[in-house]
Every structure is written in structure tokens, then in C-alpha cells.
Amino acid sequence: MAVNRNFRTCPSTGLVYHEPAEKLIRWNAVAGVVSLLVGGVLALLVTLTRWPAVKLLPPDWFYLALTAHGLDMLVFWIIFFEIAVLYFAASTLLKCRLATPKVAWAAFWLMIVGAVMNNIAVFKGDSSVMFTSYVPMGAHPLFYLGLILFAVGALVAVFVFFGTLVIGKAEKTYNGSIPLVTFGAVTAAIIATFTIAAGAIILIPTFLWSVGLVSHIDSLMYRTVWWGFGHSSQQINVAAHVSVWYAIAAIVFGAKPMSEKVSRTAFVLYILFLQLASAHHLLADPGLTSNWKIFNTSYAMYLAVLASMVHGLTVPGAIEVAQREKGFNKGFFEWLRKAPWGNPCFSGMFISLLGFGFLGGISGVMMGTEQLNLIIHNTIYVPGHFHATVVVGTTLAFMALTYFLIPTLFRRELMFPGMAKWQPYVYGIGMSAFSLFMMGAGTLGVPRRHWDMAFSGAILPHEFPGTAYLMMGLTAVSGIAAVIGGGMYLAITVGSVFFGKKIQTPGFEHVPVKKGMAPAPAPVAVAPAGHGSIGLGGFVAPGTFVLAMVFLTSFVLYYFVNWKYLSTVWPLK
Amino acid sequence: MSQVPASPGPDDDVSDEPIPMMQQLIDNPFLLLFLGVAMPTVLYIVWGVMEIVGIPIAK
């Protein structure tokens, strides 16, 4: 079988694209953006329904929209885009041909069929079982079958990624260790493998239950194994978006990691411990012992949290060092003040980093503590937390990367560049406020997933304080701002990809490897000898050190404030 | 890719120093894959399922 060895080199970035890999990256990214569009429209409907003053949808439509929103955003948008990132990190960054492109296309179409099938099942109206689809609540068989097909396709794509690494090593397209960004993608692929296997273990019997071939699925067993899929799928995102942070720091600033060893070790901590955080969804469940809960959350998970803090320190630290070396060396923050805040690639990445750390990270550790979890379990605090991690953290990082990919991958000029400058701020600040207000309402006890927080007509009604209603109103207003930011992103990306001015240069032609356009193996990088005279008081990145101290102070204060709060809601006498 | 001519390859940079064990681990994606699947499978799924299976059934 003939192997396609056609490559092209991007004249502006120097990136090398293998022809089949390039098409697959584009198609996966486009499929992701289409899922984002559907999920975004549903997000607006859900937001306007949870706004007590508006209540847009009736209950049955609300639960339908919430189910489809969760799946289109948390599964289809994210995983399609992640597969694009995996192919980019393996084929383009290793300057290597993609393994088995035909199999990769089969995986792509399997994912498409699965995503469409799942959406059809939900929009038919008989599968409004939420993203979690807890048994004994049953959905249409197509709901489970769609998810299974999507997961199988994603697993095949992950193995195409691993195959590409093997080819790169065998054909010596790189020397020494793989680049850090590719190593982050390896981390994401490993977590994806566990995630999809856990999904298969529980969704296949549940599908058989839905068609009547299995009589009973134990609900606690379902929840335990399902969260191995449901939460770990969001850990793929963490590894992927951290890789994107490193990539953007290198692309925009030419920044090199402060310590490759430390950053790689942090990724290894993710590989070993990040998936165990799935247990924090089960902290209020009877049947599982505190030994299992506390080991998996308050011990093992902290090692993964440590890794996130390492990345949160080394990415801005690398940017600071790069900026100081360019001459922005005054005081603590000249490097940050004079960063290219008008470049959406940078601003999106930096808001993603801050939102993920300060909002998502701190709230995640609080929720992962067995005792504190009681305060906010099943409240709207939980979606507040994961909108900070998955939306501000992952989605915004992916959006930021898109602004780099449109000219180099799609060969189109960016449309609406003025709007692109503002988009990360509208989306990032809107979504950060959305998360924060949801967490505020959740702290006051407002339930998640509920159509009517007032429990109108219920036998045992509950009076929430006026502040809770105010928080829900502010949640909706900031949610609308975030939807506008999402709409701006879609207008820019869809407009650029389909109607943007084509970038035409001879260098964009695909040329067979034997004609000399193939990438030569990169020489081994010379180890940096030091950072010269940059920095303050012996610190090469003092501004980042100050930011880290602010983060740690916030972390400690918030953590202990919640213990104090727990003592007031649950008095022990 | 193997036809790429006359470029410095890894064989030209052979070092006498042994590769540290940690680096060997980090450079082996399949070993990492094994560890990354085995750890949560044992500590989260197998341990959790054993606890659920051990719950006495109500009579």
C-alpha cells in the first residue's frame, strides 16, 4: 500500500504538515466547532430558563436542552478538538507522517455517527437523562449506542496518535525526547484510554439493559464506574489545555519551559493520579468507605493538584523569563504589562490560566474534601466549578489556539480582527463571572439541574434568601455575556475558514518527501546556560513568584473559610 | 521520511553517559500508558467495585 509522504512547510511559522494529518486536524476541529455551536445555542436556552425572572423553557424542554448541552459541550466539542490537538502534537510537532490515515478517517466518521445518533436520541425527547444518565433512569438505546460508537472512534484515534509516535521514533524525525507539548498530548491520550475503557465497561451493559437483554444495573456500581468515564473525560481536557498553554507561550513569546524536567514530572503526576479525582463525585454516596473516598481524593488527588500548580507557575514563569530577556525587565510586572494583550492567542491563554487556577482549581480542591463537599454537594456550585475548569480553562485555551491555527492550518486570513481582540475578554470575563455567581448561589444551597429553584407547588417548599435569587440573576446576565463571546468566536472562525481571504504563497504546496521538502531531523537543543542578569533579588521570574504567593494565600483563605462555614451549617454540640 | 539525506541524526550524538531511569520512563509512552491505565483501574475501579460488592444485601 502506497504511503502518502506529501508534506508542506508553512512559510510564516515553519510548521510542517503531513497532507492526510492536515485534513484530519481540520475536519476534527470543524466537527468540534459545530458541536460548540449547537451546545452554545442550548447554553443560552438553559441560562434563560434558570434565570428565575425569565424561566424561558417549560420543564420537559429544559431537561432536554440541559442533556444535549452537557453532551455537546463536555463530550463532542471537547473530544473532537482534542483529537485535532493530538494529531497536531504528533504529526506536525514531530514532523512525522500520520500513522494509518484511513483508520483515522474511519475513527472520525465513527465519532460523527455516534455524536449525531446521540443528539437524535436526545432531541427526540425520550432521553432527557442529563449528561450523567444515572440508572435506573433510562434513555433510548440510540443514546447509549451513540456514545459507545463515539467512544470507540475516539479510542481508535488515540491509537493512531500512539502509532504516529512509533513512526516518528522509527523514522527518526526527532532526536532525544519528544517535545514537551507532545508529551502533554501523550498524557491526554493516556488519560483518554482509561476514560474510554471505563465508559465501555459501564455503557455497554447499560445499552444492553436499555434493549432488554440485561435485567438490572446496580445504581451505585453505575455511578462509580461511570464517573471513571465522566470525570476522567474532563481530565483529558486538563492535560490538553495545559499543553496548549505551553504551545502558546512558545508560539507568542518563544518561551522555553523554566525546567523541562519539572514540567514533565508534573505531567507524569497527571498520568498517575489525575483520574482518581473521579471519586469526588461520590463523596456523599453511602456504600463506599471513607478509606476509598479519602485516598482517591484527599491524598492522590493532591498530587495531581500539585502538578497543576507546577504548570500554573512554570507557564507564566517561562513567559516572564522570555519577556525579561527581550528587555521588559523593570520591576515585578513590566513583562506582564507589556505583554501583547491585543493578541487573542495570548489573552485567551492567560485568562484561561488565571480562571482555571483561581476559580476552577481552588474550588475543585475544596469540593474534593470529603467533609466540605457536604456543603455544596448537588448544588449549582458544582457546575460553577466545572464551568471554570472546562469552559474558562479548556474551551478558552482551545479558542486561543484557533487564532493561531486559522492562518497556518486553514491558510486563511482572520476575519474581524478587531472583534477577535475583544473576544477572549468578553468570553473569559463573562464565563468567569458566570462560574463565580453559580458558586455563590450554590453556597447558599441552590440546587443544580432544577427547573424551578422556588419549588413552586411542592408539598415541602423551601425559601431561599433574596441573595440566592440575585446570584441566579447575575449568573444569567454573565452567562448571556459569555454566549455573546462564544458567538463572536463562532463568527470569527466560521467566517475566516469559509470566507476569509486565502493566503496564497508557493510555500503552501504539498511536496513529496523525496523532492526535499521533508523535514530534516532537528538537532539536539543546546541546554540553556543561564538567564544572565534578568529578574530581581536573585529570582529570574519574581513577578510569577508574587502571583504564586497571591494564589496560595487565596487558596488557604478560601479553604479555611469553608471549614468555618461548615461549622455553622452543621453545628456539633 | 527515512530517505532524508545527510542530516545530523541521533546516531551522531551518541553519548557515553547512561540515560537516567526516570528519563527512560518518561521517554517510553507505552510504559506510561500501562501505568496510567493500571493505577486508576486498581485504586479507583477495582477497589471501588470490591467495596460495592461487599455491601450486604438487604433481606
pLDDT tens across A209-245, in order? 999 999 999 999 999 999 999 999 999 999 999 999 9
Query: How would residue A526 be classed by pLDDT, with cut points 50, 70 and 90?
Result: very low
State the helix-helix crossing angle for A19-50 and A78-87, rounded to 10 degrees: 160
Find chain A residues with C-beta within 8 A of B23's C-beta.
Answer: 177
**pLDDT at residue A5 is higher than 70:** yes
Q: What are phi and psi of A500, to 5 degrees?
A: -65, 155
Which residues, other chains included, contact A90 with Cβ-Cβ below 8 Å and sequence gap of 6+? A96, A98, A161, A164, A165, A168, A182, A185
User: Which candidate in A162, A174, A194 is best for mutational testing of the B interface (most B CBs within 10 A)?
Assistant: A194
pLDDT of A41 reads 97
Q: Which residues of B touch A201 (CB under 8 A)?
A: 45
Distance CA A174, CA A164 (A): 12
Residues of chain A neighbouring B41 (CB-CB closer than 8 A)? 194, 197
Confidence bin at B15 (pLDDT 50/70/90): low
- Residue A530's pLDDT is 58
Residue % of chain B over a pLDDT of 70: 73
Give the one of B29, B43, B51 whose C-beta lies nearest to A186's C-beta.
B29
CA distance A499 to B48: 52
Nearest CA in chain B to A272: B36
Q: Which of A218, A272, A292 sits opposite B36 (nearest CB)?
A: A272
Torsion of CA A401, A438, A316, A331, to 10 degrees: 130
Are residues B39 and A201, on separate chains, in Cβ contact within 8 Å? no
A97 with A55: CB under 8 angstroms?
no
Question: Which has the closest alpha carbon to A325: A256, A222, A242, A424?
Answer: A256
- The confidence score (pLDDT) of residue A507 equals 58
Peptide bond into A136 cis (omega under 30): yes
- B55 contacts A177? CB cut-off 8 A: no
DSSP A11-43: TTT--EEEHHHHHHHHHHHHHHHHHHHHHHHHH
Instruction: Determine the residue of chain B that is closest to A229 in CA distance.
Output: B45
Q: Measure the CA–CA gap between A542 and A535, rounded to whole angstroms.
A: 6
AA letter at B21 = M
Looking at residue A523, its pLDDT comes to: 45
Q: Mind listing the pLDDT tens digit for each residue in A471-518?
A: 999 999 999 999 999 999 999 999 999 999 998 776 566 767 655 444
Q: Which candidate in A6, A173, A271, A514 is best for mutational testing of the B interface (most B CBs within 10 A)? A: A271
Inter-chain residue contact A190 with B36, CB threshold 8 Å: yes
Query: Which residues are bridge partners to A18 per DSSP?
Result: A7
pLDDT score of A570: 65
Task: Give, in degrees to the nearest 5, the angle at Cα A244 between A360 and A340.
Answer: 90
Question: To the nearest whole percent, how much of chain A has pLDDT over 90?
Answer: 81
Q: If you average pLDDT over residues A129-156, what whole number do you get?
A: 96
Residues in B closer than 8 angstroms to A521, CB to CB, are 4, 7-10
pLDDT at A524: 43
What mean pLDDT is predicted for residues A107-129? 97
Q: Is the pLDDT of residue A527 over 80?
A: no
Are the beta carbons of B52 and A287 separated by less than 8 Å? yes
Distance in angstroms (rounded) separating the CA atoms of residues A462 and A285: 23
In this complex, which of A190, A220, A278 lies closest to B52 when CB atoms are compared? A220
Q: Per-residue pLDDT averaged across A527-548, rounded?
A: 78
Using the predicted structure, report yes or no on whether residue B7 has a pLDDT greater than 50.
no
Contact residues on chain B for A223, CB-CB shorter than 8 A: none
Measured between beta carbons, the chain B residues lying within 8 angstroms of A196 are: none
Q: Which DSSP letter does residue A94 get?
A: T
Residues making up chain A, counted from first to last = 573
ipTM of the complex: 0.91
**CA A190 to CA A202: how far, in whole Å?**
19
Is residue A484 within 8 A of residue A429, CB to CB? The reply is no
Task: Give the cell for residue A106.
Answer: 474511519
Contacts of residue A97, Cβ cutoff 8 Å, sequence gap at least 6 = A3, A4, A5, A7, A18, A20, A21, A91, A164, A167, A171, B1
Q: For chain A, what is the mean pLDDT?
A: 92
Residue of A nearest to B37 (CA): A194
- Predicted confidence at residue A7, as pLDDT, reads 86
- Whether pLDDT at A559 is above 80: yes
Q: Which residues in chain A are contacts of B39 at CB distance < 8 A? A: 271-273, 275-276
Half-sphere exposure of A520 (CA within 13 A, CB side): 9
User: In angstroms, rounded to a whole number, what is the distance separating the alpha carbons of residues A153 and A492?
Assistant: 29
Question: Above 60 in pLDDT, residue A20?
Answer: yes
**Alpha-carbon span A14 to A522, nearest angstrom:** 12
Which stretches of A138-259 are DSSP H helices?
Answer: 141-170, 180-210, 219-230, 232-253
A436 is written with which cell numbers?
463565580
- What whole-number distance in Å separates Cα of residue A499 and Cα of residue A411? 11
The CA distance from A274 to A280, in Å, is: 12
If one compares A534 and A464, the residue with the highest pLDDT of the two is A464
Chain B residues interacting with chain A (CB cutoff of 8 angstroms): 1-4, 7-10, 13, 22-23, 25-27, 29-30, 32-33, 35-37, 39-41, 43-45, 47-49, 51-52, 55
Mean per-residue pLDDT, A548-571: 90
Contact between A523 and B45 using a beta-carbon 8 Å cutoff: no
CA distance A194 to chain B (A): 5
A526: left (phi over 0), alpha (psi -120 to 50) or beta: beta
Task: Pull the grid cell for residue A283.
Answer: 463523596
> Are the CB atoms for A115 and A109 separated by under 8 Å?
no
> Three-state DSSP class for A546?
helix
The alpha-carbon gap from A177 to the nearest alpha carbon of chain B, in Å, equals: 6
Q: Which residue of B has its CA nearest to A300?
A: B43
Residue contact A520–B4, C-beta within 8 A: yes
Model confidence at A528: pLDDT above 70: no
pLDDT at residue A276 in the model: 93
* Contact predicate A348/A432, CB 8 Å: no
Report the alpha-carbon distance of residue A95 to residue B10 in Å, rounded: 15
Burial of A566 (0-12, 13-18, 19+ CB in 10 A): middle
DSSP A56-76: -S-HHHHHHHHHHHHHIIIII
